[in-house]
Every structure is written in structure tokens, then in C-alpha cells.
Amino acid sequence: MLREQAARSGNSIHRRAAAAAALLWALATTGAQTDAATQSSRLADLTGEWELLPEPLLWGFHNLYNARVVQVPDARHPYRMWLFGWADEEGNPGHAGYDAIYHARSADMRRWEVYAGAGDWDATMDPSRWVPVLTAGDAPYDNFHAGDPSVVARRGRYYMAYSSVGVAEAPDAPGELQVISCIMAAESSDGIHWMKSAAPILMWPGELTDPWLLSDGAVGQPPTGHMGSYHRPSLLWDGGRWRLWFDYFLPGTFVSMGLAECDGEFLDPSAWRVLSAGGEPLLEDWPNTSVVRLGGRYLAFADPPYYPEEWGGDTRQLTVAESGDGLAWRVRGHLRPQGTDSTHVPEAAVLTVEGKRWLYLLYAWKPPSDPWDYRYKAIRALRRPLIGPGPCYTGLVEPVEVRPWIVR
């Protein structure tokens, strides 16, 4: 009965759950504090090393973000994007769940068209026509939200890791609801029709037995010792195995970054193992991570808080970290491409555009507003050049004119 109620978009339980799930993000800031050394390195301004594309890539929607782009060998539309949220109205009426994943394509990384169902595509930025390609299901961990898509194209197929949220009756607490957060996987031959994993590929062991409760539409305090709510994956095929960075709730931080790997079947939950999480995060205060490999180095982009309030962006700024192995990270600095506007939820991609190799950084944008509005209004992008036969990274330096990273 509860599952049927949660599936109805107008049901009060569904609406309370929606508000509660949104509040989980805000609650993650409770008691969080960035250490002095990390805060100092964050203050290095790297914006001048990047070129801001003058026009947005997508706009006109109700609230969409987390725009992941991959390049495929298609002469007409080599650039494919997945993003999520609400296209035309809050909650995507007429589709399962609340948040959903959408798909777009482009010939040149500037002009985009969005999947509109049954082989149709919309290039007019009319979100009323847009149709999601992946929505919530009916499992307790999958009945509410599908989002944060991270897609890899490999050997003619698409592989996606994504955030999944469900709302279910809490064990040992009659009448109470709990939020269940996890990471699911899906596979596709065309990027539109997806087969989901039979169960979450990543879920904190205590997610079901040590529940985070909802109470009349509000989120309560997390249970003591809660280190779950695995979410917001960043997927790479790296060194003959799948590597997946994600964020999770760690008391005293604004969510932190963990790592999992898989050297078996992508959709098989038993093939995945968590290498870093719990009390040993790779980076603290590191939400919405996006990891790319450039030669022998890794870059991670995120949008952590605790920047000066006068900088805007709800105190959150695009931030860069570097690693030699994907495990030990050093924060390098931040990007403020549009002043006090909010530029959040970064997604990085190494792409060849017009015969030249670039590192792109897509992000969700919204202007300052009074009263405050959390909804993003456009997808925009920064980029900087790479030169040579393949990607490499030679180090971040003081901000100067945009110049290429040299491949060695």
C-alpha cells in the first residue's frame, strides 16, 4: 500500500518525501568544517586558465543539472549528454517517481537537441516535449528518484551509474518512513533504452537496518554512526576495471568522497567493492564529484561550500583537486566563471571538437535571487585546450591567459 501511495504524484506522502529528500542535502552541512590547509588551497583562483563559452548549452527548463557528456563515433551527433531533474514541471508529472534522467545530443558541442520520445528530438528548448530515458522503479530503494547520471561509452555500448532514492516504511518503527539512498547501474545500446541492475551496486550496509527517518515531511537527525546515503557517482573505465567515485554522508562534513571498483560484470552488484568510505574518505567536504583521467593524472571537480559569502554562489564554488592514482588527492583551487552567480554540479569531459582536444567542464547555472530559488536555469560550460596525440596533465599553475596543457 505504501508503495502505491508513494507512486501517486499528488499523494501527501509523496510530497512530504520529496521535500524530505531535498532537505537531506542541506542537513549534510550540520557541523561541517573544512580544515585550514584545504581552505587555503581552495582560495587559489584558477578561473583565468579557462575559456567560458558565451552561450548556454541548454536552457528553458524547470530545474535540470548534472550534465554528463561523452563522445561517440557518430558523424552526425558525436556528442551525447545525460542530465536529470525536472524538465517542464516539478516532479515530472506523468512519469514515474520524482526526478528523472534526460538525454540530449549535439553535432558541435554548442547546439543541442533533447530526446522527445519515439525517435523525436527537440532543438527549440521546449521542455514540455522532453521525455526522460530513465525513471524511478518500484523497489523500495528505487521508487522515488533517479538522477546524477555518470555515463561511459565503451565498445559500442553505454554504461551508466546513477543515484537512486526510495521511500519505504521504516523497520521497527510502525508508521514512520525512511529515505533509502544508493547507487544503481544501467546498460544501453543506444543511450535511450536502459536495462537497470537487479539491485544497487553500492549501498551502505546499514542503509536499511539503521534508517534515516522522515517525520511529517521533515528530515530527522541521522542515526548515530550513520555513514551511508551513497550518491552522486563518477564512473570511469580505467586500467581494465571500473572505478567509481561517489559522495556519502560523513558526520562533521558536507558529504565526503569515497571510491569503489569492479573488475567483473558491470551490472552485477556482487562484483563491486568499496575501497574507501566510512571514516576514511578520500576528500572531505567534496560533493558532486566528477573525475577525469588525463594521461597519468586524475582531476576531480566538485562544488564544496564554505567560501566567502560575498563571492555568492550560496558559498559553493567549482573546485579542482589533482591525484596521481585516484586515491590521494590535493585540492588545487577554484573556478568562478560568472561572478556571484551559482555555478554548481560540475561534469568534466575530454573531447575532440573541430579537430582540437579540449577539457570541458559543464555546470548548472542560476543567478542570485530574492527570495532564494534553488532551481537551476541553464547548463553552461568552460573549456581549456589540450595538445598532442592524447590527453595529459602537466599541473595547475597561476591563473593567466588560457593556454593549453601539453601532452607528453
Condensed to tens digits (0 to 9), the pLDDT of residues 292-332 reads 999 889 999 999 999 999 999 999 999 999 999 999 999 99
Rounded average pLDDT over 392-400: 31
Helix (H/G/I), strand (E/B), else coil: 38: helix
Phi, psi dihedrals of residue 56, rounded to the nearest 5°: -65, 160
The pLDDT of residue 2 is above 90: no
The position carrying cell 564529484 is 289
Question: How many domains are contained in the chain?
Answer: 1
Comparing 135 with 8, which gets the higher pLDDT? 135
Find out whether 214 and 167 touch, Cβ atoms under 8 Å. Answer: yes
Q: For residue 186, which of 116, 126, 266 has the smallest C-alpha distance?
A: 266
Q: What is the CATH number of the domain that holds 141?
A: 2.115.10.20
More confidently predicted of 156 and 16: 156
227-246 burial, b for 16+ CB within 10 Å, e for fewer? bbbbbbbbbbeeeeebbbbb
pLDDT tens-digit readout, 59-96? 999 999 999 999 999 999 999 999 999 999 999 999 99
At residue 389 the predicted structure's pLDDT band, cuts being 50, 70 and 90, is: very low
Q: Which three cell numbers stand for residue 11?
A: 499523494
Q: Determine the pLDDT at residue 33.
A: 56
Asked whether the predicted pLDDT for residue 131 surpasses 50, the reply is: yes
Query: What is the per-residue pLDDT for 7?
Result: 37
Contact 59, 377 (CB under 8 A): yes
Q: Mean pLDDT, to the nearest integer, of 354-371?
A: 96
- Cell 574507501 belongs to residue: 276
Residue 303, exposed/middle/buried by CB under 10 A (0-12, 13-18, 19+)?
Answer: buried
Does an H or E element contain 145, and which? strand 145-154
Which tops the pLDDT comparison, 393 or 259? 259
Q: Are 64 and 40 in contact (CB under 8 A)?
A: no
Average pLDDT of the chain to the nearest whole number: 88
Are the CB atoms for 271 and 261 separated by under 8 Å?
no
Cell, residue 43:
582560495
Pairwise CA distance, residues 342 & 363, whole Å = 9
CA distance 270 to 290: 24
Give the pLDDT of residue 339. Answer: 96
Give percent above pLDDT 90 in the chain.
78
What per-residue confidence (pLDDT) applies to 149?
98
Closest CA to 28 of 266, 228, 298: 228
pLDDT category at 290 given cuts 50, 70, 90 is very high
Answer yes or no: is pLDDT of 12 > 60: no
Beta bridge partners of 336: none
Output the pLDDT for position 29.
43
Q: Is the pLDDT of residue 392 over 50?
A: no
Q: What is the mean pLDDT of residues 271-276?
A: 98
Confidence of residue 43 (pLDDT cuts 50, 70, 90): very high
pTM of the model: 0.90
Query: pLDDT band at residue 34, thresholds of 50, 70 and 90?
Result: low
Mean pLDDT score, 218-223? 77
How many Cβ atoms from other residues are within 10 Å of residue 330's Cβ? 13
Side chain identity, residue 181: S
Domain of 134, in residue numbers: 2-406
Residue 268 has pLDDT above 90, yes or no: yes
- Is 165:180 a contact under the CB 8 Å cutoff? yes
- Over residues 252-281, the mean pLDDT reads 97
Rounded to an integer, the average pLDDT of 398-408 is: 34
pLDDT at 37: 61
Which residues, in sequence order, are CB contacts of 214 under 8 Å at separation 6+?
16, 17, 20, 167, 176, 177, 178, 179, 220
Q: How far apart are CA 102 and CA 122, in angstroms?
A: 12
Residues 304 and 254 sit within 8 Å (Cβ to Cβ):
yes
> Can you tell me whether residue 176 is helix, strand or coil?
coil
Q: Residue 112 belongs to what H/E stretch?
A: strand 112-117
